[in-house]
Amino acid sequence: MLKQEDNERVTRVGRGTPMGELFRRYWIPAALTEQFPEVDGEPVRVRLLGEDLLAFRDTDGVVGLVDAYCPHRRAPMFFGRNEECGIRCVYHGWKFDRRGDCTDMPSEPAGTPLQARVKILAYPTHETGGIVWTYMGAREKMPAPPDFEWMRAPKANRFVSKTWEDCNWLQAMEGGLDTAHSSFVHNEFIGNNASLRNQDRSPRLEVERTDYGYYYVSTRALTEGRTYARLYHYVLPNQQMRSGTVKFLDNGGDDDPHAVPKIDGHLWVPVDDEHTYVYNWSCAVGEDGFPPGYVERWESFMGRGKDDMLPGYKLKRNLANDYMIDRDLQRTSTFSGIKGLNTQDYALQEGMGPIVDRSREFLGTSDRAIAAMRRQLLEATRAVENGEDPPGTDPAVQRGIRPVDRVLDAGQAWKDAFATAMQARW
């Protein structure tokens, strides 16, 4: 459990809060590339770390990220004109480029010195891997942009999506770092012991601290002395990586959504204290990338397919309709009765309330990874308060990592089996 003051420390993300200042020292996702299909196109509202912002792809093809309100009279820039390398406020015509400089002030006398003094808040962006990233901290502390393997993979080998979640970012991320829950809420095959996670529902965890956060290995006992081992990475402050190279069912066919060897992950990005955007990525590790139609099948299986979504990247199955739980399905087929693995997670995470009270919980041995993550976040917030650099901001310590999972033969050690497979290929 956490003390109440520590719970506040790691959940609140506004400017000036310990966690908010920590987040502002890393590059974080601001939007998906797909949200900006053309230059000088429609601007996009962005709320990030409690700040209201506006994003637009300018004439040069670069995405700008600026204050949502004009510094003149605080009119909303969303209604502005995206034209000639800048966003122009329609109230009085003041125009700003992606760097925040005022490039035109037609309502004032020509040559006014006011134009040089007026700026709009602007954050730098970097576009890669289908995501527009931003850095919201002090410029003199800005690290190099992220460079994960899944970003460098061929386009045919990767895809990204995002979903809105109505709860604090931390309880959402803790679900991603919790391996034991997959034997329960994600059990889609009640009574089928061919499922790897049905054979052993009490995984053993080993956590190894690293320069970027940690990796942990969960091991589950299988028949004939074999072991299912899965190595996850936690990358500070908000990313999880996991492997999906082993089929969910030992006898799963080609229609099994887990049949394509790949690595997956999420980034939990705080919109504000009580809302989160979850960026989901997948990367096929084979030469041929994802087969036709696979991405659509996988996203549907997760509960975030085209037919599962509302505007704003929100799920149709949500807290307001109890995630459309099917009690007959729960009795006869699946553990939760909720369709979509992503949706099952949201039902529990959002159902905890906007910000869970961690002073009232009791952790077990299967929660070691979660406890380790909380310790690292608390340490990192205090490092920033003391004027130090937080860990894991240098992409050099992250770019070579890859998650792994394998079914190991009796007596085979995971460290030996994973030694090469843990290294990035691209």
- pTM (two decimals): 0.95
Measure Cα distances from 274 to 178, 223, 318 in Å: 21, 43, 15
pLDDT number for residue 254:
47
Residue 184 and residue 347 in contact, taking contact as beta carbons nearer than 8 Å: no
One-letter identity of residue 356: V
pLDDT number for residue 398:
94
**pLDDT over threshold 60, residue 366:** yes
**pLDDT over threshold 80, residue 111:** yes
> Which H or E run includes 56?
strand 51-57
State the average pLDDT over residues 177-200: 86
Residue 181 and residue 359 in contact, taking contact as beta carbons nearer than 8 Å: no
d(CA 217, CA 43): 43
pLDDT number for residue 230:
96
Residue 342 and residue 302 in contact, taking contact as beta carbons nearer than 8 Å: yes
Cα 223 versus chain centre, distance: 35
Which structure tokens are listed for 359? 């002073």
Question: Would the CATH topology of 27-141 be identical to that of 149-418?
Answer: no
**pLDDT over threshold 50, residue 421:** yes
pLDDT number for residue 252:
45
CA angle, corner 263, sides to 259 and 266, nearest 5? 120
pLDDT number for residue 247:
67
**pLDDT over threshold 90, residue 143:** yes
What burial letters (b/e) apply to 36-61, b meaning 16+ CB within 10 Å? beeebeebbebebbbbebbbbbbeee
State the average pLDDT over residues 82-102: 98
Tell me the pLDDT tens digit for each residue of 13-28. Answer: 999 999 999 999 999 9
Report the number of secondary-structure helices (H) and strands (E) in the chain.
11, 21
Domain 149-418 fold is Naphthalene 1,2-dioxygenase Alpha Subunit; Chain A, domain 1 (3.90.380)
pLDDT number for residue 258:
66
pLDDT number for residue 249:
52
Number of residues assigned to the chain: 426
Residue matched to tokens 């869970």: 356
CATH architecture classification, 27-141: 3-layer Sandwich (2.102)
d(CA 232, CA 265): 9
Residue 280 and residue 150 in contact, taking contact as beta carbons nearer than 8 Å: no
d(CA 82, CA 95): 9
Which structure tokens are listed for 236? 């500070």
DSSP 235-279: ETTTEEEEE--S-SBTT--TTSTT-S-EEEEEEEEEEETTEEEEE
pLDDT number for residue 98:
98
State the average pLDDT over residues 386-415: 96
Domain boundaries, the chain: 27-141, 149-418
Tell me the pLDDT tens digit for each residue of 211-259. Answer: 999 999 999 999 899 999 999 999 999 999 999 888 655 444 445 666 7
pLDDT number for residue 381:
98
pLDDT number for residue 253:
46
d(CA 59, CA 128): 18
pLDDT number for residue 256:
63
pLDDT number for residue 93:
98
For residue 88, count CB atoms less than 10 angstroms from its CB and return exposed for 0-12, middle for 13-18, buried for 19 or more: buried
Tell me the pLDDT tens digit for each residue of 31-77. Answer: 999 999 999 999 999 999 999 999 999 999 999 999 999 999 999 99
pLDDT number for residue 250:
47
**pLDDT over threshold 50, residue 155:** yes
pLDDT number for residue 255:
53
Which structure tokens are listed for 232? 């996850």
Tell me the pLDDT tens digit for each residue of 282-309. Answer: 999 998 899 999 999 999 999 999 999 9
pLDDT number for residue 1:
80
Which structure tokens are listed for 223? 């028949």
pLDDT number for residue 246:
80
pLDDT number for residue 190:
85
DSSP state letter for 406? E
Residue 118 and residue 93 in contact, taking contact as beta carbons nearer than 8 Å: no
Tell me whether the omega of the peptide bond preceding residue 237 falls within 30 degrees of 0, making it cis: yes
**pLDDT over threshold 90, residue 189:** no
One-letter identity of residue 48: L
Tell me the pLDDT tens digit for each residue of 253-278. Answer: 445 666 789 999 999 999 999 999 99
- The average confidence (pLDDT) of the chain is 95
